Structure 1
Amino acid sequence: MRRWVLVVGIAVLVGAALVLVLTGNTEVRYTADSDSTQQMWVRWISVAVGILLVRLMPPQVERVDAGTADRRQAWILTGLALAFAVLLKLLGLGMFEVLKGLLLLLAPLAVFRWLGGKPTKVWPATVRWAPVVPVVAFLGLSYFGPLAAPATEKPDMGAAELALVILGGFLINSVLEEVFYRRWLQTRWEQLLGPWPAILLASIAWAVWHVALQGRGELGIDLASVLVNQGVQGLFLGYLWSRYRRMWPLITVHGAMNALPLFLSLG
């Protein structure tokens, strides 16, 4: 199963890119706050640099999670991720916070209480600063220079309101999503399949729900767009988690990317 998931996961991302190339839709939306777009391969460069730097930085000494692999939890969490993507698309963004809180937080906690097991132990880093290098490089490429996303329209809100929007988005999106898709979902599949199959699976699961958020109405193109955008970004986030087992790098990258359009519009 490990090899099958790895091959299928790679094929899904490569196939999505081919669909966009063949249909002339290589410009992808990078935020739900604007219709602004960016070439899909431009967004891959910062991911490739980040993954390379993660590989070069010192890893952990110990690679053993607490607890035992639980196939039931892995499949249930995958089902919840799929349900979130489908229901959000069907019910609309008005149910966003409700569905996210129910399916990505309350339901998993109930599952863990019911089935037990804690396979997400965080071990100490050998070199605590190691994740700083890929995180800073990724964000530097994303915010500055020729690879930076184009600025969007300046939001019509005051400083206090803007701060609340950024904080709310950070908690509801960055923190909750990284806990669910990487700390919970990816970790359980890593115990069953190994790092990269689990990273691919979690990245695709994380990407597909963005169809409801950033889609334009053509389901096939919308799905391909989020796979080559969020799906590829998820590889960097997933590798950070697999390599270092620390949440702060993931939350920092995710939060900064979500706030990127707002910050750029203020420039």
Structure 2
Amino acid sequence: MRRWVLVGGLAVLVGAAVVLVVTGNTDVRYTSDSDSTQPMWARWIPVAAGLLLTRVLPWRVERGSDGAPDQRQAWILTGLAVAFAVLLNLLGLGMFEVLKLLLLLLVPLAVFRWLGGKPTKTWPATVRWAPALPVAAFLLLSYVGPLAAPVADRPELSGVQVALALVGGFLINSVLEEIFYRRWLQTRWEQLLGPWPAILISSIAWAVWHVALQGRGELGIDLASVLVNQGVQGLFLGYLWSRYRRMWPLITVHGAVNAVPVFLSLA
């Protein structure tokens, strides 16, 4: 199964890119706060740099116990990820916070209590700041220089409203999503299949729900767009988690991806 998941996951991402090239839709939306687009390859270069630095730097976590493999939890969490993506598209963004809190937080916590709890982690102090260089490289390439995303539209909100939206978005998007998709979902599939199949599963699951947020009404093109954008970004986030088992790099990258376009529009 490990090989099939690995090959299938890669085929999904490559196939999405091919669809966009063939249909001439290689410019993808990079934020839900604007209709601005960026060439998909420009989204890949920061990811490639982050992956390469994460791979070549010598520091990595000394593997501790992630708990016993639990196939039931892995499949239940995957089902919740699918349900979130499907229901969000069917019910609309008005149900976004409710569905996210229910399906990505409350139900998983109930499942862990029912089936035996969350896996444990060990995070040696020697790797505490090791992810800083890959994270910095990703952010600099993404938002400084020739690959920087275009400035998004200025939000029609007061300063207080923008601040509240950013804080709320950081907690419910950056923090909660990284806990669910990487710390919980990816970890359980890693126990069963190993790192890269699990990274692909979590990346694709994380990407597809963004269709409801950034889609333009053509499901096939919208799905391909989020796969080549968030799906590829998920490879970097997932590798950071697999390599270091620390949350701060994931939350930093995810939070910046969500917030920096807004800050730039206010400048």
In the alignment, what sits opposite 1:94? 94
In the alignment, what sits opposite 2:139? 139
Note the alpha carbon deviations across 1:25-74, whole angstroms, 9 max, x for none. Answer: 00000111111000000000000000011112233352233310000000
Measured after TM superposition, the shift of residue 222 of structure 1 is 0.4
Measured after TM superposition, the shift of residue 152 of structure 1 is 1.4
For 1:166-245, what aligned pairs fall within 5 Å after superposition?
166-245=166-245
Kindly indicate whether residue 51 of structure 2 is the aligned counterpart of residue 51 of structure 1.
yes
CA distance in 2, matches of 1:66, 1:39: 38
Q: Is the 8 A contact 1:206 1:231 kept in 2?
A: yes
Secondary structure of the 1:250 match is: helix
Secondary structure of the 1:126 match is: helix
For 1:245-260, what aligned pairs fall within 5 Å after superposition?
245-260=245-260
CA distance in 1, matches of 2:198, 2:65: 14
Q: Which residues of structure 1 form unaligned runs of 5+?
A: none
Kindly indicate whether residue 35 of structure 2 is the aligned counterpart of residue 35 of structure 1.
yes
CA distance in 2, matches of 1:53, 1:93: 37
Note the alpha carbon deviations across 1:163-198, whole angstroms, 9 max, x for none. Answer: 111101000100000000000000000000000000
Letter in 1 for 2:77: L
In the alignment, what sits opposite 2:106? 106
Q: Aligned pair in 2 of structure 1 residues 213, 207: CA closer, same or farther (>3 Å)?
A: same
TM score, norm. by length of structure 1: 0.98
Q: Which residues of structure 2 form unaligned runs of 5+?
A: none
Measured after TM superposition, the shift of residue 128 of structure 1 is 2.4
In the alignment, what sits opposite 1:9? 9
Letter in 1 for 2:158: G
Letter in 2 for 1:16: A
Measured after TM superposition, the shift of residue 263 of structure 1 is 1.2
Measured after TM superposition, the shift of residue 6 of structure 1 is 0.2
Note the alpha carbon deviations across 1:136-163, whole angstroms, 9 max, x for none. Answer: 1111111110111100121222222211
Q: Is the 8 A contact 2:54 2:131 kept in 1?
A: yes
Q: Is the 8 A contact 1:34 1:152 kept in 2?
A: yes
Letter in 1 for 2:248: W
CA distance in 2, matches of 1:180, 1:247: 11
Q: Is the 8 A contact 2:61 2:244 kept in 1?
A: no
Q: Is the 8 A contact 2:88 2:99 kept in 1?
A: yes
How many matched pairs?
267
Letter in 2 for 1:210: H
Secondary structure of the 2:67 match is: coil
The percent of aligned pairs where both chains have the same amino acid is 80
